[in-house]
A and B are shown apart, each in its own frame.
Chain A
């Protein structure tokens, strides 16, 4: 040994020399060691030793594991490592006696064994032993090593993960769904046997070939939990240390340490796998766990169709090509049913999610058969559209038989279909801010709204007997149709007809069905609109009902939002509690609203309360506060509506009317709001549209005040 300082130098020189090519080392040593011959010799000796590698006792560590080929566990000879997880290692292993076969052998990694890991391992073994399904890897054998460490051998599934298989085989959308169906069945089977998988992801579904056909196999029940007796006790809490991959397919309730986890967590994961199979990327994507965790807490995934269009062009092209199509065609293919199905499986609220994998599978099958899917709102127009798609010929015949409604709607639908191809992508980009499940319906509605040339009024006029004939036996359906027809009349500015249908819809919903949901609220909203559009003040009882319902619905979703809206509702009636400052309440509402998922429904609730609060403040002469609230509403509306949305245009006009009715009228606001309508391009709002006429009338009224009014100029 050298003295301490020279030993330190030795180590440093050695390390630096290691990085050099052997031929350059001698010169390096000479330069570094200078006149210290002893140091130089020592360094050269060490480097020479290094080049010999390990020898003697150091090469025979008592602990270093034997090479895989020589290691045995039970009757198995370990071959290569197939994978390493957080707690275990999976080896490909070979059994020769009594039968010759290859298995996947799972053991616990050195130093990972803790009570929790051992319990989880035992849980997986138990879970697999309980299950018997062609799409779940079977367990063959289990045991413990001499030191008591458990292992088990399961069916070896030599195949790529589901996603990789689909991309490699360039499976179109139908083929991908076809491969996911057996996976849903496998998980349903597990749930019925009382086992929750808990860690479903594309990597845990392998596709093997059996008789020339691809068969998906679910592997890795590593975090599986037996459902009987305990709920989330056995589920691993996600920690920031866990790999991102664990998070991409994890349900929000599972990511939340206090969440209630049940089998519907697996439904979410299946939804996430479906999402990726369709759109090529997982529902939430981020480099960092914290970002995904945050998204899981507050966001709703973008619909797959919108997601495809939002990819970078080369990426979108790759994704589409792997599905044998183009990005635009893929987005079209996904929009509608598949968007709705994926998002229903990915509902944050478990009560609104599919109840079971079987339900998800059933909807996917319905989609493949072109039947209406349960994920989509069961409106008449949607059912009709599905019906038309399935039975083109039959529809053509029944048009003759079934009267004006069916014929007219079918025509409207076909018109919309034709327009669809050229216009959809542009619209899609605009609609992206909103729940895209609505995009389709809004699109069709907009066509009706913007094109007075459809013989829509004739159609609507003769619709009463048809509605009775088609939907009379089902009050829910009848209410949905009455609502749609009523709104259509409003769009045509026929408020009297509109009212008749809307009042009937309201009666059906609240009195006959006792429903107090967002449909009821939308109906009330439309009735209030009908009153304002006809130039009369809406009945205060109606307004109060709508505000109360909006507060209730918001409260169900978010307690804070409910409280703040309730306070604003009190402000509206001039009985605000002390300290209820409009500014503070508005800020709170905006904040709460912006972090809520499913924003369009909440948008209806928040909008309802804020609009009526504005009206209330204007009535009370609290102009400044009214202006403030008005600006907030405008901002929210711009966030929620697409620029050329019929609803947006109608909303701003009605809102301007409300400001104009105040005394004195809020001229600046009125002009501003109206400009939003008048600046709409003609392709979205024809020059001769009645709404333009109304806007011009109101503008004129603002410039030439009525005879009795005198206002400072």
Chain B
């Protein structure tokens, strides 16, 4: 178990979720922080255990974060929704962070050592530019089409199946699927243009 394991058990996450539930924006950020820290702690522990060459299935990361954070918290529907929202954002940050690091490694060999061994590769094979351009395009989509962007985030970054996305986003399956198609076309179009 990593040192972070005991840190967020019980009250902090419960309290945080309660505040998120009552619409507290700061609590939303705190939740993201908690989940993010947890994901990173797990990833670091994994690297320490199995060595750096190992690529990690991100599904497992999110999953394990869920177990750790919710070991003692009531796993109600609201909590699931908040958790996966936060987990999607956290995963996105981690991927972007990793992609930037890779990109910077190409240009700048003298990067700080601290950043280097933090994370195993979570998205094997994805070109750095793609991750960054998706991040950027998704940012634009969010400002124009909030719900479809959320569907993408949950599906892509939190690894939820479409029925689960629909449940967590609180929409019907048909709506979630239409949102996904729209957002996907919109993003691919956007990234295609950006690449030109």
Contact residues of A with B, CB < 8 Å? 1, 4, 7, 11, 14-15, 18, 45-47, 49-50, 52, 54-58, 60-65, 110-116, 118, 145-149
Contact = CB atoms under 8 A, between A and B. Distances in A.
A1 B189 contact: no
Interface stretch (B27-35, B61-69, B101-109): B61-69
B12 to A, nearest CB: 16
Contact of A7 (B131, B145, B185): B145
Contacts of A61: 155-157, 159
B18 interface: no
Interface string B145-186: 100100010011111100010000000000000100110111
B33 to A, nearest CB: 20
A38 to B, nearest CB: 14
Pairs A-B, 8 closest by C-beta atoms: A63-B159, A147-B60, A57-B130, A62-B58, A49-B185, A147-B64, A62-B123, A7-B144
B95 interface: yes
Contacts of B91: 62-63
Given A58-B134, A147-B63, A63 B185 contact: no
B119 to A, nearest CB: 12
Interface string B63-106: 11011001110010000100110000001000100000000000
29 contacts: A7-B144, A7-B145, A11-B148, A15-B178, A15-B182, A18-B181, A45-B189, A47-B185, A49-B192, A50-B181, A52-B188, A54-B184, A55-B188, A57-B191, A58-B184, A58-B187, A58-B188, A60-B123, A60-B126, A61-B157, A62-B159, A63-B59, A64-B159, A110-B62, A110-B160, A113-B63, A113-B67, A146-B46, A149-B60
A57 B145 contact: no
Given A1-B144, A18-B178, A113-B66, 19 more contacts: A11-B145, A15-B182, A18-B181, A56-B191, A57-B127, A57-B191, A58-B187, A61-B155, A62-B91, A62-B126, A65-B59, A65-B159, A113-B70, A114-B70, A114-B75, A116-B75, A147-B42, A147-B57, A148-B64
Given A7-B144, A61-B155, A63-B157, A149 B63 contact: yes
Q: How large is the interface on B (under 10, 10 to 19, 20 to 34, 35 or more residues)?
A: 35 or more
B185 A46 contact: yes
Interface string B114-153: 0000000011011100110110000010001100100010
- Chain B residues touching A, majority SS: helix
Contact of A147 (B61, B145, B159): B61
Which of B127, B156, B160 has the largest count of A CB atoms less than 10 A from its CB? B156
Nearest to A7: B144
Contacts of A49: 184-185, 188-189, 192
B193 to A, nearest CB: 10
Contacts, number: 123
A370 to B, nearest CB: 53
A14 B122 contact: no
Nearest to B156: A61
B65 to A, nearest CB: 9
A65 B58 CA distance: 9
Contact of B67 (A14, A60, A118): A118
Given A7-B144, A113-B67, A62 B122 contact: yes
A114 B71 contact: yes
Which of A111, A114, A146 has the largest count of B CB atoms less than 10 A from its CB? A111
Nearest to A42: B189
B47 to A, nearest CB: 12
B124 to A, nearest CB: 8
Nearest to B144: A7
Contacts of A110: 59, 62-63, 66, 159-160, 164
Nearest to A4: B144
A63 B62 contact: yes
A57 B113 CA distance: 29
A149 B189 CA distance: 39
Contacts of B72: 115
A330 B129 CA distance: 72
B162 to A, nearest CB: 10
Contacts of B84: 111
A428 to B, nearest CB: 47
A19 to B, nearest CB: 9
Interface in B9-44: 42
A89 B190 CA distance: 37
A111 B125 contact: no
A18 B186 CA distance: 14
A60 B91 CA distance: 14
Nearest to A6: B144
Nearest to B130: A57
Contacts of A46: 182, 185-186, 189
Contacts of B125: 60
B130 A56 contact: yes
B167 to A, nearest CB: 10
